[in-house]
């Protein structure tokens, strides 16, 4: 695994106490303020104090069950987080580099937990949610009625892919090669990337099938004759190691590499509340950046929380410790996480945003989806709160 560092790593005595003790109330200097969080945690606030600028509980809505792609969020959890199997959430005191920040964080699961609807819809139904995972193409799609603006990009490259059986299709090297084979391609209905692939001719509209439900059953039953959407950080390991009926490698191409460079799962706020939350975001976004660096440097503790939460949620989604380890390695190896073209983690490339907006605007207009007339790169994402000194190597 590659080495990761940051120019702004803070490992204090309080951080060491967090790693080595069950309780932190005795750690820290006598000059620190002590406060009790809504979670009941009582401890001294460290170098980052969010209690004056952020909600008592920072609520984050994710787009799926707990997984390593969300590792930067679960990295924020302090000691003894609460796993609520009924609500499909994990909460606890919010920590930054091992120190208490004076507030809690509540991480809510998406996917089956919210009826598989878009996170944006959930954000506008429940205004307790401060931050939600929103894909940049979805931000354009919802720009008229439910606008959001991204403030942090935990994934620099979208891990979504189309996969196929290399034994059945030895001559297929790219998604576009599946067109010549006439291969049926399974995907979740409503994803704009499929309109892109069919619109620019990589796939034929007649060969795509929006009936994919997340289960491996159809892919396995087809015996290698179909292709299917997935994540490079999950399905290659799952199908080779955890789907006994398959038990062999798959080949794939990232959607990013086809020319569809969206930011997947960017952390976003409702646009009208950007200014109201700006004081909080000024302090919180660098904490998110640092949590990303620290998670990918040493993911074991956080992965244990993720695996435990999935088991307790019992939604039918299975997530093993081995899969979490694979996901971390895959995201680093494929540069799904990283600094992009500069030395900063979590920021947005403005030229790339402009390309995304131009591309998906055409897709949604062709589909008669009403979008905001003024939609632009700066209306769907901002680097305003990013600390350029925090990065990964």
pLDDT digits (tens, 9 = 90+) for 120-157: 999 999 999 999 999 999 999 999 999 999 999 999 99
| Residue at token pair 């894909």 | 135
| DSSP three-state, residue 231 | strand
What is the model's pLDDT at position 42? 87
Instruction: Examine the pLDDT at 377 and tell me if it is beyond 90.
Output: yes
What is the average pLDDT score of the chain? 91
What is the model's pLDDT at position 39? 85
Lowest mean pLDDT across 29-43, 122-136, 240-254, 321-335: 29-43
Contacts 24+ apart (CB under 8 A), 15-24: 15/97, 15/98, 15/99, 16/98, 17/98, 18/78, 18/79, 18/95, 18/98, 18/99, 19/98, 22/79, 22/80, 23/79, 24/78, 24/79, 24/100
Tokens for 326, please give them: 């694979």
Instruction: Indicate the pLDDT class of residue 393, thresholds 50, 70 and 90.
Output: confident
Q: Which domains does the chain have, with CATH numbers?
A: 13-155+263-380 (3.40.190.10), 160-258 (3.40.190)
Nearest one of 371, 316, 383 to 149, comparing CA atoms: 383
The whole-angstrom separation of Cα 296 and Cα 325 is 10
| Residue at token pair 């991480």 | 107
One-character DSSP codes across 168-196: T-TT--STTHHHHHT--EE-BTT-HHHHH
| Biggest CA-to-CA distance, the chain | 70
What is the model's pLDDT at position 190? 86
pLDDT in tens, 41-57: 989 999 999 999 999 99
The helix (run of H) or strand (run of E) holding residue 294 is helix 278-297
The whole-angstrom separation of Cα 308 and Cα 312 is 6
Tokens for 220, please give them: 């396995």
Q: Which residues contact 345 (CB under 8 A, 6 or more apart)?
A: 156, 289, 292, 293, 337, 338, 339, 390, 391, 392
Instruction: Examine the pLDDT at 363 and tell me if it is beyond 70.
Output: yes
Nearest one of 55, 75, 57, 56 to 66, comparing CA atoms: 75
Query: Mean pLDDT throughout 284-289?
Result: 98
> Residue 314: exposed, middle, or buried by beta-carbon count in 10 A (0-12, 13-18, 19+)?
exposed
Interaxial angle between packed helices 321-333 and 300-313, expressed in degrees from 0 to 180 and rounded to the nearest 10: 130
| Count of beta carbons in the 10 Å neighbourhood of residue 145 | 11
| Residue at token pair 């929006």 | 210
What is the model's pLDDT at position 239? 98
Q: Return the percentage of the chain with pLDDT > 70, whole number.
A: 91
Nearest one of 244, 247, 241, 234 to 165, comparing CA atoms: 247
Which residue did the predictor score with more confidence, 377 or 42? Answer: 377
What does residue 101 show for φ and ψ, rounded to 5 degrees? -105, 0
pTM of structure: 0.90
The whole-angstrom separation of Cα 230 and Cα 247 is 16
């Amino acid at each position: 695994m590659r080495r990761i560092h940051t120019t702004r790593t803070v490992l204090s005595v309080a951080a060491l106490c967090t790693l080595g003790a069950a309780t932190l109330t005795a750690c820290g200097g006598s000059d620190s303020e002590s406060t009790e969080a809504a979670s009941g945690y009582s401890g001294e606030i460290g170098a980052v104090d969010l209690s004056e600028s952020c909600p008592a509980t920072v609520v984050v809505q994710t787009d799926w069950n707990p997984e390593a792609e969300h590792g930067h969020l679960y990295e924020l959890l302090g000691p003894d987080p609460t796993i609520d199997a009924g609500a499909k959430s994990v909460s606890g005191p919010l920590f930054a580099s091992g120190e208490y920040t004076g507030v809690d964080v509540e991480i809510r699961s998406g996917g089956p937990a919210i009826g598989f609807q878009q996170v944006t819809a959930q954000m506008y139904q429940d205004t307790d949610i401060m931050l939600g995972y929103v894909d940049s193409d979805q931000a354009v799609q919802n720009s008229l009625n439910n606008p959001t603006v991204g403030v942090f990009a935990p994934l620099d490259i979208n891990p979504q892919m189309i996969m196929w059986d290399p034994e059945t299709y030895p001559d297929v090297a790219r998604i576009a090669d599946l067109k010549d084979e006439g291969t049926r391609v399974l995907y979740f209905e409503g994803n704009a990337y499929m309109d892109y692939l069919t619109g620019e001719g990589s796939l034929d509209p007649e060969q795509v099938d929006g009936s994919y439900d997340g289960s491996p059953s159809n892919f396995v039953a087809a015996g290698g004759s179909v292709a299917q959407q997935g994540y490079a950080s999950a399905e290659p390991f799952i199908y080779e190691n955890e789907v006994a009926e398959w038990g062999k490698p798959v080949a794939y191409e990232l959607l990013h590499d086809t020319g569809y460079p969206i930011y997947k799962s960017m952390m976003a706020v409702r646009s009208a509340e950007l200014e109201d939350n700006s004081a909080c975001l000024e302090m919180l976004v660098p904490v998110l950046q640092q949590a990303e660096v620290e998670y990918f440097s040493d993911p074991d503790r956080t992965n244990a929380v993720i695996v435990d939460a999935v088991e307790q949620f019992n939604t039918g989604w299975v997530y093993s410790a081995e899969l979490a380890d694979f996901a971390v390695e895959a995201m680093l190896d494929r540069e799904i996480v990283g600094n992009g073209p500069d030395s900063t983690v979590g920021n947005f490339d403005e030229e790339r945003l402009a390309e995304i907006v131009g591309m998906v605007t055409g897709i949604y207009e062709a589909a008669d989806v009403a979008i905001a007339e003024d939609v632009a790169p700066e209306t769907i994402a901002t680097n305003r709160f990013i600390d350029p000194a925090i990065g990964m190597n």
